[in-house]
């Protein structure tokens, strides 16, 4: 039997899925694109790589994109990827702002499997005061990625609030913050600090980055595309704009919705404009449009654009007698994202994998001592300044006496995709992830 590379196999399954979706049997596809059916079968089975020329011809013939033929590279086959602090050190680069050194950046662990883009950043600009208007502070323009920041030392965090007003947070070791995309911000070290302040700036994409972003961009008219952004400035406006969005998407008039729900047209219009609706009214509206109530429920909380969590005020609890947890900055609008500082206090039971987390994890050793990471796939030492990525559902534990910073994200799986997969069910989910079958059997099936 020929050896089949795991990546080629995945890419073959991806091609199988693509052909299934286009309702092409391999022989149809081969004929259309001018390839031998045996070649096509060998790409699907992963025996041969898909040649670039094949992709080019396919994109000319079919309404598909080149990117549809490529699979995400798995750079972490054991479920755990570590970057040592010495490797981070080598990636150092100084960023100047206004002609002066402003930040030193170093990479920490990055994986191709999900959207973490974490950096270690030292603040080289020293400020003598805590004035948000201080002229030596150089601001960025904000960025598309969400940002969780963990502070080490005497760091000032500058940000613009909802009204564009410049603000400053006086941060110390263990404090943290969450920054909404596109909020301009900056960081400096306060004068008198023993050493330059340090942040772990963990940026990450969520549901919108990648495919959704590309689909929006394909609309090509940013004004049209931005109509997808509804009014979530208050809970009631959120519900109202969701009701209006679904109603008009389904071509249902106010009159028709009123007939179906027995709620007056006037009341429905008020709800759509942001008047508060009772839960029973929303239930009735959802039912009448054959959608779930959750689909028109707004966010319960409207949060500020930056969330600051002081270390001493964070919730604390212990877990499995091996960990003491401190909750860091989190946003209720990112329910699949959690940041925690975890003190590891157990030397025992190395083979008791007490952690099995259904989120992607970025972990940085912020303590002063080495730890051991035991996983179902092996054992690794984890030194201060090392960082690692752990895949969802890898059984593992931390042992030793030390402290880690942990940022967990759902990537693109948490939320609606997870619900969709749950409806497809465990039994079919393997096929949903990697299509191994044609959509029908030529010999028939009954």
Of 147 and 288, the one with the shorter C-beta distance to Fe ion is 147
Q: Minimum CB separation from Fe ion for residue 122, in Å?
A: 14
Of 200 and 239, the one with the shorter C-beta distance to Fe ion is 200
Tokens 């730890």 belong to which residue?
A: 371
Of 268 and 328, the one with the shorter C-beta distance to Fe ion is 328
* Contacting residues for 357 by C-beta, under 8 A, at least 6 apart: 390, 392, 393, 408
Q: Minimum CB separation from Fe ion for residue 177, in Å?
A: 11
Residues of span 138-157 touching Fe ion by CB under 5 A: 147
Q: Minimum CB separation from Fe ion for residue 146, in Å?
A: 10
Question: Which residue's CB comes closest to Fe ion?
Answer: 147
- Site size toward Fe ion (CB under 5 A) is 1
Q: Minimum CB separation from Fe ion for residue 359, in Å?
A: 22
The token pair at 91 is 């990636």
Of 69 and 158, the one with the shorter C-beta distance to Fe ion is 158
- E-state strands within 66-213: 80-83, 93-97, 100-107, 116-123, 126-127, 146-152, 155-160, 166-171, 176-179, 185-190, 198-204
Of 196 and 298, the one with the shorter C-beta distance to Fe ion is 196
Q: Minimum CB separation from Fe ion for residue 367, in Å?
A: 25
Tokens 């025992």 belong to which residue?
A: 348
Would you tell me how many other CB atoms lie within 10 Å of the CB of residue 335? 12
CA angle 425, 426, 432 (to 5 degrees): 75
CA distance 182 to 303: 15
DSSP-derived letter for residue 228 is G
Residues of span 298-357 touching Fe ion by CB under 5 A: none
Residues of span 383-422 touching Fe ion by CB under 5 A: none
Q: Minimum CB separation from Fe ion for residue 201, in Å?
A: 6
Q: Minimum CB separation from Fe ion for residue 58, in Å?
A: 39
Kindly tell me the burial class for residue 40, based on how many C-beta atoms sit within 10 Å of its own C-beta (0-12, 13-18, 19 or more): buried
- Residue 80 half-sphere exposure, CB side, CA atoms within 13 Å? 24
Of 54 and 159, the one with the shorter C-beta distance to Fe ion is 159
The token pair at 436 is 């191994």
CA distance readout (Å), 10 to 139, 353, 426, 428: 43, 29, 19, 17
Of 167 and 230, the one with the shorter C-beta distance to Fe ion is 167
- Residue ranges in contact with Fe ion by CB under 5 A: 147
């Amino acid at each position: 039997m020929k050896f089949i590379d795991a990546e080629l196999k995945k890419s073959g399954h991806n091609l199988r899925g693509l052909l299934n979706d286009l309702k092409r049997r391999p022989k149809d596809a081969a004929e259309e694109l001018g390839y031998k059916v045996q070649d096509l079968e060998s790409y699907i089975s992963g025996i041969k790589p898909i040649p670039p020329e094949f992709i080019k011809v396919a994109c000319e013939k079919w309404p598909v994109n080149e990117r549809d033929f490529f699979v995400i590279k798995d750079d972490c086959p054991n479920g755990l990827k570590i970057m040592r602090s010495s490797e981070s050190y080598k990636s150092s680069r100084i960023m100047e702002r206004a002609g002066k050194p402003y930040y030193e950046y170093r990479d920490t662990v990055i994986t191709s499997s999900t959207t973490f883009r974490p950096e270690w950043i030292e603040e080289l600009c020293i400020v003598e005061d805590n004035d948000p208007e201080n002229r030596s502070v150089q601001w960025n323009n904000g960025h598309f990625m969400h940002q969780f920041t963990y502070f080490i030392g005497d760091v000032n965090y500058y940000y613009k609030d909802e009204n564009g007003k410049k603000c400053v947070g006086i941060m110390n070791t263990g404090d943290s913050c969450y920054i909404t995309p596109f909020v301009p911000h900056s960081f400096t070290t306060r004068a008198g600090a023993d050493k330059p302040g340090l942040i772990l700036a963990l940026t990450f994409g969520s549901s919108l980055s990648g495919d959704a972003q590309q689909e929006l961009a394909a609309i090509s008219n940013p004004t049209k595309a931005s109509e997808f952004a509804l009014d979530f400035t208050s809970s009631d406006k959120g519900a109202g704009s969701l009701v209006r969005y679904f109603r008009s998407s389904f071509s249902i008039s106010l009159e028709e919705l009123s007939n179906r729900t027995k709620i007056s047209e006037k009341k429905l219009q008020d709800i759509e404009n942001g008047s508060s609706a009772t839960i029973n009214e929303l239930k009735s509206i959802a039912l009448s449009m054959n959608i779930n109530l959750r689909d028109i429920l707004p966010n319960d909380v409207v949060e500020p654009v930056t969330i600051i969590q002081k270390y001493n005020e964070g919730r604390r609890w212990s877990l499995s007698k091996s960990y003491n947890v401190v909750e860091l900055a989190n946003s209720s609008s990112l329910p699949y994202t959690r940041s925690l500082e975890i003190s590891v206090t157990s030397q025992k039971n190395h083979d008791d994998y007490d952690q099995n987390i259904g989120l992607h994890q970025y972990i940085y050793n912020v303590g002063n001592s080495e730890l051991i990471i035991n996983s179902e796939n092996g054992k690794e030492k984890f030194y201060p300044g090392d960082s690692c990525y752990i895949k969802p559902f890898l059984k593992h534990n931390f042992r030793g006496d030390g402290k880690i910073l942990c940022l967990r994200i759902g990537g693109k799986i948490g939320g609606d995709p997870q619900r969709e997969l749950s409806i497809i069910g465990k039994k079919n989910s393997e096929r949903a992830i990697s299509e191994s079958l044609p959509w029908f059997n030529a010999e028939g099936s009954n």
